């Protein structure tokens, strides 16, 4: 059964009957008369697509202006796989925080960094946002 053909098939017990285009239109008209439900025409479908949720199309256009910044997601190609830039920034932020902690240990100021969970969490955030601004701000 081809989707593009003007003919339709209707199951009838164990066999199928193939109807021509006018017979299909007549069958639809009879079904509409019996059930009281009108089928959508192509024009009705176009109007329903243009009126999203009953709103006129201009409010839909205004919405696109406000979400236009969401169109491009910066990504980095690493060995053929694309990773989001924010993920790369977080990984670099964590690595730089570990290196900063090692520098604190060498300088013998690590015991004075208290509370450690808050301080190192803030360092991760600082290095992540700094990486994002320096590398991906363009």
Position with higher pLDDT, 103 vs 3: 103
Q: What is the DSSP string of 19-64?
A: E-HHHHHHHHHHHHHHH--PPP-HHHHHHHHHSGGG--HHHHHHHH
Q: Which of 32-46, 49-63, 68-82, 89-103 reaches the highest mean pLDDT? A: 89-103
Extents of the domains making up the chain? 8-65, 75-136
Give the rounded percent of residues in the chain with a pLDDT score beyond 70.
54
How would residue 30 be classed by pLDDT, with cut points 50, 70 and 90?
A: confident
Identify any residues that bridge with 50 across adjacent strands, giving them in sequence order.
none
């Amino acid at each position: 059964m081809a989707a593009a053909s003007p003919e339709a098939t209707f199951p009838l017990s164990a066999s199928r009957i193939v109807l021509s285009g006018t017979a299909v239109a007549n069958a639809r008209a009879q079904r509409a008369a019996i059930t009281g439900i009108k089928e959508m025409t192509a024009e009705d479908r176009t109007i329903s697509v243009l009126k999203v949720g009953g709103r006129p199309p201009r409010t839909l256009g205004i919405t696109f202006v406000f979400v236009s910044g969401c169109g491009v997601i910066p990504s980095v190609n690493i060995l053929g796989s694309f990773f989001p830039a924010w993920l790369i920034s977080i990984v670099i932020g964590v690595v730089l925080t570990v290196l900063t902690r090692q520098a604190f240990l060498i300088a013998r100021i690590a015991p004075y960094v208290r509370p450690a969970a808050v301080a190192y969490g803030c360092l991760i955030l600082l290095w992540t946002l700094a990486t994002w601004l320096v590398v991906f701000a363009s």
